[in-house]
Amino acid sequence: MSEIRITCDRQNGLARAAVWRDRQISDLYIDSIEHPDLTGALVYGRVVRALPSRGEVFVDAGLERHLFLKSTARAGAWVTAQILSTQDEGKAWRARQVDNQDPNLPPTPWMRAVMDLKKEDKPQLLFEDSQDYQAGLALGFPCEKAKNPHPDLDEMIEGLLNPVQDFLIVEKTHAFTSIDVNGPLDKNPLSLNLQAAGAIARLLRLCNIGGLVVVDCLKMTARTEGPKLRQAFARALEQDPAKPQVYGPTRLGLIEIARPARGPSLHKIYGRV
């Protein structure tokens, strides 16, 4: 079993948590301290529109947007819901109905990191902030106080925000995120595409890129190479807590990834969109 450490700090108005597996960063959780994202919060609201034939309702919880969730509740009923995503622009926020739970604030970044781990994982938590440290102790986690728990994180984040990632070019549009795979002409296209699968899977997790992702892979010649590429992307993404789905490649050689949005992306948090 790999060694798992979660390093946590608060800096420049942001609460940050980084997950390290055998000293390699695997996930980032960052949120505003003053205006935290509401993903994961439990809220109480009234059903303002019910769609009985579909078992879906819209709920007004007094927030910026209505919530959209599966429920058999009738219009006018009150329900408790957990917000699943706040990133569907111009749409109601996705949520799920929960029973016998009181409304609660959204989890902090380090709490989200712990919640996404498997039950058998035993993380060690390093906190710079005393309040977070006390909260971790109260929940029974093995915790330590540490000054500057992740000294190289700022440099890593700056690198992740660069639209050019080695042989990948990343561009965010209103409808989707496009990733272009580039490489020298004398290299095997399938080999480079397979290498890109792992790099893209890591990038999506660390940057928390959600929604539709379209990957323009290098053109391959043999028909048998398409399924190999799709399988490589599926394997690279299978440990992603967001549980993305992989489709393709299309006739144009595009791989499509549907990754549920889980809070704001790294680019949005740092104002790079």
pLDDT of residue 187: 81
Is 255's pLDDT higher than 70?
Answer: yes
The predicted model gives 82-88 an average pLDDT of 89
Per-residue pLDDT tens over the stretch 191-249: 999 999 999 999 999 999 999 999 999 988 888 899 999 999 999 999 999 999 999 99
State which fold the 42-98 domain adopts: OB fold (Dihydrolipoamide Acetyltransferase, E2P) (2.40.50)
Q: What is the mean pLDDT of the chain?
A: 93
Give the DSSP letter string of the chain.
---EEEEEEEETTEEEEEEEETTEEEEEEEEESSS---TT-EEEEEEEEEETTTTEEEEE-SSSS-EEEE--PPTT-EEEEEEEES--TTSPEEEEEESS---BPPPPHHHHHHHTS-TT---EEEESSHHHHHHHHHTT--EEE-SSS-TTHHHHHHHHTSSEETTEEEEE-SS-EEEEE---TTS-HHHHHHHHHHHHHHHHHHHT--EEEEEEPPP---TTHHHHHHHHHHHHHTT-TT--EEE---TT-EEEEEE---S--HHHHTT--
pLDDT band (50, 70, 90) for residue 273: low
Fold match, 4-32+107-154 / 42-98: no
Percentage of residues of the chain with pLDDT beyond 70: 99
Percentage of residues of the chain with pLDDT beyond 90: 79
The predicted model gives 259-263 an average pLDDT of 89
pLDDT band (50, 70, 90) for residue 1: low
pTM, whole model, 2 decimals? 0.89
Is 170's pLDDT higher than 70?
Answer: yes
**Domain extents for the chain?**
4-32+107-154, 42-98, 161-269
Per-residue pLDDT tens over the stretch 96-139: 999 888 889 899 999 999 999 988 888 999 999 999 999 999 98
What architecture does CATH give domain 4-32+107-154? 2-Layer Sandwich (3.30)
